[in-house]
């Protein structure tokens, strides 16, 4: 088999990974997306302020979707880090680069799919004037502060956690792997919440953070790929 990156072989591998995702995981992801409504209504009641409630609906959706997407490596290739049980991953007719890229692609597709379901549901519930749904999510006053640095910061925050999770999934020890995954998720949520607030009036500082996140993304992408290259079964 050629060791060069073959786009057709990569496409077949992505389709294989999608089909390999357990049906329980797909159903649970769909159920979670449909559960946005009651959770958003609850958050609206707890916050008590419409503009923040509208934005919080979106923030809650992003956090839940991100967590589900970060669990994809565990669901599709739960034994990739175990020498005796990871032979299935090793025998797939694709290069390590294609396997690495396929897992990352599947995580991104999970985010996009669940976000689309959640946003469509949010629009429909707002259209029928469900209690607490007085504004569409794009009418949130908080969203007027969204700019390029915030978008890039959010993107790299997820990418850092994504490649970190791919690397963590190669750890054979279940306890250590679980601890690493929880820490990565908490780090991502902390960045989502803390950085936009702290750097709201410090645009230069925010660009520094984005540069650090971009460097961390490249490092973890290299580290997770290197770890997969060095795996032996």
Is residue 176 packed enough to be buried (19+ CB in 10 Å), middle (13-18) or exposed (0-12)? exposed
- pLDDT greater at residue 38 or residue 180: 180
b/e 72-81 (16+ beta carbons within 10 angstroms → b) = bbbbbbebbb
Residue 215 has pLDDT above 90, yes or no: yes
Q: Residue 187 has what pLDDT?
A: 81
Residue 42 has pLDDT above 80, yes or no: no
Among 17, 85, 118, 159, which residue's Cα sits nearest to residue 167?
Answer: 159
Q: At what angle do helices 50-70 and 174-198 cross, to 10 degrees?
A: 150
Q: Residue 218 has what pLDDT?
A: 93
120: which 2 tokens? 């469509």
Q: How far is CA 166 from CA 26, 105, 161, 185, in A?
A: 19, 11, 9, 13
Averaged over 104-113, what is the pLDDT?
A: 88
Share of the chain above pLDDT 90, in %: 5
Q: By mean pLDDT, which of 25-34, 107-116, 145-154, 195-204 is the weakest?
A: 195-204
- 200 φ, ψ (degrees, to nearest 5): -55, -45
Say how far apart CA 111 and CA 225 lie, in whole Å: 21
Contacts of 45 (CB under 8 A, 6+ apart): 132
Whole-prediction pTM value? 0.78
Confidence of residue 51 (pLDDT cuts 50, 70, 90): very low
């Amino acid at each position: 088999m050629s060791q060069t990156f073959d786009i057709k072989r990569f496409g077949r591998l992505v389709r294989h990974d999608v089909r390999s995702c357990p049906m329980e995981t797909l159903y649970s992801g769909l159920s979670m997306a449909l559960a946005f409504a009651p959770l958003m209504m609850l958050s609206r009641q707890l916050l008590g302020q419409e503009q923040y409630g509208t934005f919080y609906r979106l923030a809650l959706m992003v956090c839940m979707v991100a967590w589900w997407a970060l669990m994809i490596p565990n669901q599709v290739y739960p034994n990739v880090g175990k020498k005796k049980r990871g032979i299935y991953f090793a025998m797939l007719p694709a290069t390590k680069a294609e396997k690495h890229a396929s897992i990352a692609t599947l995580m991104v597709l999970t985010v996009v799919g669940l976000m689309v379901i959640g946003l469509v549901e949010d629009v429909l519930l707002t259209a029928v004037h469900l209690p607490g749904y007085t504004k569409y999510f794009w009418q949130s006053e908080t969203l007027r502060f969204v700019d390029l640095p915030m978008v890039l910061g959010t993107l790299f925050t997820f990418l850092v956690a994504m490649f970190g999770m791919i690397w963590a999934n190669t750890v054979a020890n279940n306890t250590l792997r679980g601890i690493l995954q929880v820490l990565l998720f908490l780090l991502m949520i902390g960045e989502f919440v803390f950085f936009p607030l702290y750097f709201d009036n410090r645009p230069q500082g925010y660009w520094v953070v984005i540069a650090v996140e971009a460097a961390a993304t490249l490092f973890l992408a290299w580290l997770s790929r290197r770890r997969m290259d060095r795996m032996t079964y």
